A and B are shown apart, each in its own frame.
Chain A
């Protein structure tokens, strides 16, 4: 396969590109969805193609094709060059690419059972029986889904990289929807939109959906008759998956160097962070230690090399509350004068690789959820995301959760519905005063991160354990 890729690259270089790299991908996916004990959708997908990018002056030119004939591969190299060259009508400053090791290597995601070799009957039975049980218990609607990806990538560059990787990802989840008089309430497991990791069928088996159907079904029904989450300022305790999304939105996107440099200004936005304040800016409380770690076994954004051939690594992002790191690619790292962190990936062969979160997680503390609750006099414990919104510099956010629990004098008392909280990023993180430990640290995964134009969907990881935040505005309603 590398010979095929190099035919494309050679043409781009021979025409005058400073640098070119290309990937051939074979991407398989399987989507299974169920509603109310019926199979709603069963789809297997497979596609194969090449994407080549060429650097000419200050612009990337990228061309992707499904046609892998020799003639087409050479034409792809030519088109990538010509597309990049067309950009010279509106040029910027030329930039170098940060140096990375030139490697030839292979990597396969560690897994026990490839999900594409497991009986589809077993997969369908699991998700259909889960929704059937919830419906039987009384859910107005019971939803379930499983998703699997098996991606083979061959990456080569004009500098001599030749890397093969086979990334296997699995995930899914179940939800119970209860419909009341002019309102709906939902409870999900393991988290809203499902939980996703690298690995095989064993990932799904570890979720034990059927052990949770009764609880989420009952909770969604109970929410309909529960009081509204109170409005005001209180201590807020977040369950791990909600904290994972909080990290994703208010830290992960803010530290993307392409955003900081203005490359995403028109769409995803920029960042409130200024590079000149790296290693000085106070991001949060001293309990806040964030790392971007693409080497965590089993986490969703774990690989050996990114889509530029840069080795996966662990990078400190926030240390004891101080901002220390950014997410980079070879181009943005060279421009900003920082080390390339191996954080560039693309959504399939047809998309230009771009800066993407790896496993951007909050390192665990030394407390526990029980201790956090028992030491809270007046607060709300919120679980499982229901809505999320943040401004385009990643400062002003508002999240809604599926369920809230009032905490009074160290004990959980009443369930409350429609819990929301809002805040400003550094103030919020600065108010974190208790953080659960390693026993409750989970590698939460987000399979639906949108960024870029044309739009790309990224898979990101966010290890987190429950935490407490002081004096947060809660209960915002329309």
Chain B
């Protein structure tokens, strides 16, 4: 890409000997068509080119984040950074730069999608809702990332993604669905609309049930919430460094039916094949037969814990966040949704969780609510829709040994509190889940 090539040409001439420098660039076009009350009300596109510069000299580090317009002269930027770096204290955990041998060339010149295609997808979704009130978004993104450093590394990658996320609302209910794909035209808007429509229809006139411990079936978006919390607060090696992670490697902490891997090379994966250090990512096991196998490492956390780097540095998130897998796949089982329901004596189906927050990271006790479709299941059959429930439940225990009764056979990309397209998951059948409040508090 010309902007990148020109920038690196200039920088290579300007960095003084003895200074370590790393430059990253994110160039993307993010487009999102938003609808509510069954019409498009907001339709946006942003083109951005952000540059992230890190300098390390005399044992000290400084970071500058700029966009291409505010950057001005790169010569001035470098001089200013190097003159100010002396104000900083020593950086005792500086991990060094990625080696030249890790260079990866994945850049592709891809044009953004036309807004008319997104509008058409929205139209198809809304039509499936018949008289129900539709709301949601259809997005499409083209993102390019580049990493260069004074070791001679020069890496790039391109990722495209598209999502359709929508709900329908009746007077007394709501139902949602979500889909992700690399290509906007491959999004099946009618299928998403049909799924959301059915949930909305079947969730009408919900009844309150008493809080308590219930067997649950969790839809993909609810499963995604549990896994993303465990990923950020547990498998993120930064949380281990900080002493707040409940995850112990090679200890049987989860049910043996839980198998989670991070695979950027899987067909249809939506995120980059390199991490923010510029190194190529590999497929790695996160949980195998219920046993944690790896944390998500950055250069710094792998040094601090003296473990191998897994290359999970995030573009634009900084060292204080740590690492996160962005191509996570929970291995499907062999149980259909219908079979799963038929296996429940008395339980609740939860389509989606909402507003989940951690009470204590080390126990992973989380509180949150259900929304957009919940039903009571009795003796293997859905008997009635249920209203709002609040849970207070350890997410570690929710996937703990003996608590996972079944894993669904179909999986899909699901939304999560830390972004969409990160997790591809099936439904789960759990033995116990603790609901601590209902509609009345």
Contact = CB atoms under 8 A, between A and B. Distances in A.
Contacts of B365: 477-478
Contacts of B39: 58-59, 87, 90-92
Contact of A83 (B44, B64, B88): B44
B63 A60 contact: no
Interface stretch (B163-171, B223-231, B263-271, B307-315): B163-171
Contacts of A62: 42-45
Interface string B341-359: 0000000000000111111
A454 B47 contact: no
B18 interface: no
Interface string B241-260: 01110000000000000000
A262 B135 contact: yes
Interface stretch (B27-35, B199-207, B376-384, B405-413): B27-35
Contact of A177 (B120, B244, B358): B244
A476 interface: yes
A440 interface: no
Interface in B363-396: 363, 365-369, 371, 388, 390-394
A418 B33 CA distance: 42
Contacts of B176: 266
Given A47-B69, A87-B43, A40 B320 contact: yes
Q: In the complex, which of the residues B35, B123, B359 has the most CB atoms of chain A within 10 Å of its own CB atom?
A: B359
A478 B354 contact: no
A65 interface: yes
Contacts of B46: 51, 63-65, 350-351, 454
Nearest to B85: A42
Given A65-B47, A392-B371, A39 B119 contact: no
Nearest to B354: A392
A263 B36 contact: yes
Contact of A396 (B68, B167, B439): B439
Contacts of B362: 179, 182-184
B49 A184 contact: no
A44 interface: yes
B92 interface: yes
B421 interface: no
A220 B371 CA distance: 35
B119 A90 contact: yes
A89 B123 contact: yes
A92 B39 CA distance: 5
A390 B318 contact: no
Contact of A60 (B30, B43, B139, B174): B43
A128 B89 CA distance: 9
B28 to A, nearest CB: 11
A157 interface: no
Contacts of A63: 44-47
Contacts of B50: 47
A188 interface: no
A61 to B, nearest CB: 5
Contact of A389 (B87, B119, B357): B357
Contact of A391 (B32, B34, B133, B355): B355
Interface stretch (A206-214, A295-303, A358-366, A421-429): A421-429
Contacts of B174: 265
A387 B359 contact: yes
A396 B388 contact: yes
A251 interface: no
B48 A140 contact: no
Interface stretch (A118-126, A279-287, A311-319, A461-469): A118-126
Contacts of A84: 43
Interface string B419-441: 00000000000000010110111
Given A39-B89, A476-B392, A66 B48 contact: yes
Contacts of B36: 261-266
Counting contact residues on chain A (CB < 8 A from B), the size range is 35 or more
B41 interface: yes
A43 B98 CA distance: 20
A128 B91 CA distance: 12
Contact of B359 (A64, A265, A386): A386
Contacts of A120: 84, 87-88
B70 A387 contact: no
A62 B243 CA distance: 44
Contact of A141 (B30, B34, B242, B436): B242
A15 interface: no
A250 interface: no
A79 interface: yes
B159 interface: no
A400 interface: yes
B127 to A, nearest CB: 9
A422 B394 CA distance: 18
B357 A265 contact: no
A182 B44 contact: no
A477 B391 CA distance: 10
Contact of B116 (A47, A89, A182, A265): A89
A49 B46 CA distance: 10
B185 interface: no
B115 interface: yes
A388 interface: yes
Contacts of A39: 88-89, 91
Interface in A254-302: 261-267, 269
A39 B34 CA distance: 41
B62 interface: yes
A87 B392 contact: no
B37 interface: yes
B396 to A, nearest CB: 11
Contacts of B42: 59-60, 62, 263, 352
Interface of A: 26, 31, 33, 35, 38-49, 51, 58-68, 79, 82-84, 86-87, 89-92, 119-121, 124, 128, 140-141, 177, 179, 182-184, 261-267, 269, 350-352, 386-392, 396, 398, 400, 418, 420, 422-424, 427, 453-454, 473, 476-478
17 contacts: A39-B89, A42-B61, A42-B88, A60-B41, A63-B44, A86-B114, A90-B38, A92-B37, A92-B40, A120-B84, A262-B36, A262-B169, A265-B174, A391-B388, A420-B367, A453-B137, A478-B434
Given A44-B63, A61-B115, A120-B87, 10 more contacts: A41-B319, A47-B66, A47-B67, A60-B42, A62-B42, A87-B39, A90-B35, A264-B36, A390-B355, A398-B436
